[in-house]
Structure 1
């Protein structure tokens, strides 16, 4: 197949207003005013709340529209965090959420918006998850509290119509178990987003690097997803070129950071559509390693992505769009470029170098089982089927 071949597609996508550039955080007050929003609850974690340079910029830009900073999110993204955010939103009568930081804060704020719109208590939400496996969105989208995210990591969970959350539910034996669940729907797209490279520079380098591989892989996977379109081909190709250039130098060069942030915006564009995600195989492995070992997604991707790509190439998956994006001649050369970016970010090249991975126990088998059953595989290349045995072989290669 030529990299210029274009299959038929329907592209129904309605992103929030995207603000990009140094100093664009100053636009957030006007964005709220334009939408008649008077009181915003900033939603973040404690580390972000302690980042004075970041929070001062957000607070100054919100000015008298800042109702409070809710610093109660964690990387675990628990349902109770969303319920607590709802309590503060109700107490303060806020009419907007401003999640600041990484994807966990955005996901918690998104779920909080759904709980609040449905007047759903924590107990009722847990019961709904136990019964149905998820949390439904409100019948009236106008009841949702709109989101105005200020991302400061590069995982790329912002231009999205889904949000993941972890809920403690009744296990049927008198105890509880924590299950991964979430919400989804076109109405959950943020109202406006603010990508200010100067704010990303306030994030610790190790956090940025750990998130970057996740965002980078969103662009990579978009180029062989069965749901790819000419639009996502274009944005993902440009994203890869910006990220391949910007990520290795972003810690030392402001122009490289600008490219990295712009690349992450493009990597996300159009990949999260109801029924038509483009992330697939690599993210399925990330979920398997997360569930088996509790590994942060970016670190999991760093170790496994090259091996997953080689397995797909060996199985006959057409990676010509990926080679074209990297401006190289072969799939192996494209994979080498992925490794180059990973190594420049000083990310782990093997699972054995990741803390918490037990190579002798049942964990790799569990990771393979979860990966092979992941729902994202429905967006994998049509010619590729990831079996549990295949997943185990990839993980062995990544050891």
Structure 2
């Protein structure tokens, strides 16, 4: 066994009902005096509640999916105008993504630390990956300075997340696990984290769907989402994420739902060519096969099934397939061609059962 594995420096504070206390402790430890809170309008009340008492100099609520470049520019200007010394992102992946775009622009001799307080299972909080969209193209990159310094997990903050969005976001986290099994830099540690992430999400998401007001299921889902993101941060972006980034940028599709629809098709595409990874996933699902395990979980969760319902035009399949092949990672378990990706996207658009 030979591999090189990087463990990223990050603190995690996990405790239901303890977000405000944990945030205050982190701000005090940083010695920060000028806090910029990034939270969308829908998260404003929650963000105000958990940041009450902190030295907040600016609250920024222009949070947009896929982080359009012009939105990032305005947030950067606001951070500079208020001379902020720490960013607190409260919400889903879009809020964290905007904080990363601001931190990316900070001078290297005066970095802007991020404290992320996730309210979904997006996982962006545990990765150094940033992404911005311009003219229908989503560009992503990896930069250590955008990795949040601390993640504050509080399952109580996810109670307002509807079952429908919880399912989509949780399947997005599951996609991190699956992709990490065969991504460009995968290793045995990533695969172990991914397998445990699958197990936690397999157990937690059905509990969230059945008992939305109960914390144990949401705690398991948050725990699984964190493991999945840590694995993904190390293993890199595989075919699944390249497909979803292309679709999100080209058609402005909702991020989590797109991952939820595409995942079974990519798993069916790659699993036969990666039997060891597929076997580990099957064991994590406690199923006869990885495909069956995912299908049964999606059935229990009534997961989204078609790209058509998310707003993707069918005439965009060909152009998307070409863009995916151009961006596809090296070392995918099986060769990738435009025709095969077009067929995969067509099946996902129709909502056909993956083969």
Same fold (TM over 0.5): yes
Equivalent residue for 1:131? Answer: none
Distance 1:178-1:309 versus aligned 2 partners, 3 A rule? closer
Which residue does 1:262 correspond to in 2?
A: 223
Tell me the residue number matched to 2:353: none
The residue that corresponds to 2:295 in the other structure is 339
Separation (CA, whole Å) in 2 of partners of 1:104 and 1:347 = 21
Give the count of matched residue pairs. Answer: 344
Which of the two has higher C-alpha Rg?
1
For 2:188, the equivalent position in structure 1 comes to 230
Matches within 5 A, 1:300-319: 300-315=258-273, 318=276, 319=278
> Matched residues in 2 for 1:64 and 1:254: separation?
27
The Cα offsets for residues 290-348 of structure 1, whole Å up to 9 and x where unpaired, read as 2443322322232232222222234465422212222333xxx3212212332333322
Are residues 1:106 and 2:84 paired?
no
1:138-189, CA deviations, whole angstroms, 9 ceiling, x for partnerless residues?
xx3x41110001111112111111210123xxxxxxxxx4542345322321
1:173 matched residue in structure 2: none
SS of residue paired to 1:72: coil
Residue 313 (structure 2) aligns with: 358
| 3-state SS, counterpart of residue 272 of structure 1 | helix
Structure 1 residue 45 and structure 2 residue 40: aligned? yes
**Relative to structure 1, is the Cα distance of residues 343 and 327 closer, same or farther in structure 2, using a 3 angstrom cutoff?**
closer
- Give the conservation status (yes or no) of the 8 Å contact 1:15–1:159: no
Of Structure 1 and Structure 2, the greater helix share is in 2
Asked if 1:208 is matched to 2:166, the reply is yes
TM-score by length of 1: 0.80
The secondary structure found in structure 1 opposite 2:330 is helix
Q: C-alpha distance in 2, partners of 1:226/1:300?
A: 22
Between stretches 384-393 and 82-91, larger displacement belongs to: 82-91
Q: CA deviation at 1:88?
A: 2.5
In structure 1, stretches of 5+ residues that fail to align are 1-6, 118-139, 168-176
Q: Is the 8 A contact 2:11 2:149 kept in 1?
A: yes
**CA deviation digits over 1:21-41, x for unaligned, max 9?**
202312111111112112210
What is the alpha-carbon distance in structure 1 between the residues aligned to residue 313 and residue 71 of structure 2? Answer: 30
| 1:326 matched residue in structure 2 | 285
Maintained 8 Å contact 2:37/2:88: yes
Could you tell me which residue of structure 2 aligns to residue 34 of structure 1? 29
Encode CA deviations 1:249-277: one digit per residue, 9 max, x unaligned: 2141321111011110111114214xx51
Q: Counterpart of 1:374?
A: 327
Unaligned runs of 5+ in 2: 351-355
TM-score, L = length of structure 2: 0.89
Q: Report the 3-state secondary structure (helix = DSSP H, G, I; strand = E; otherwise coil) of the residue aligned with 1:259.
A: helix
Distance 1:201 1:385, change over 3 A: same
- Structure 2: how far apart are the matches of 1:297 and 1:227? 24
The answer (yes or no) to whether the contact 1:37–1:95 under 8 Å persists in 2 is yes
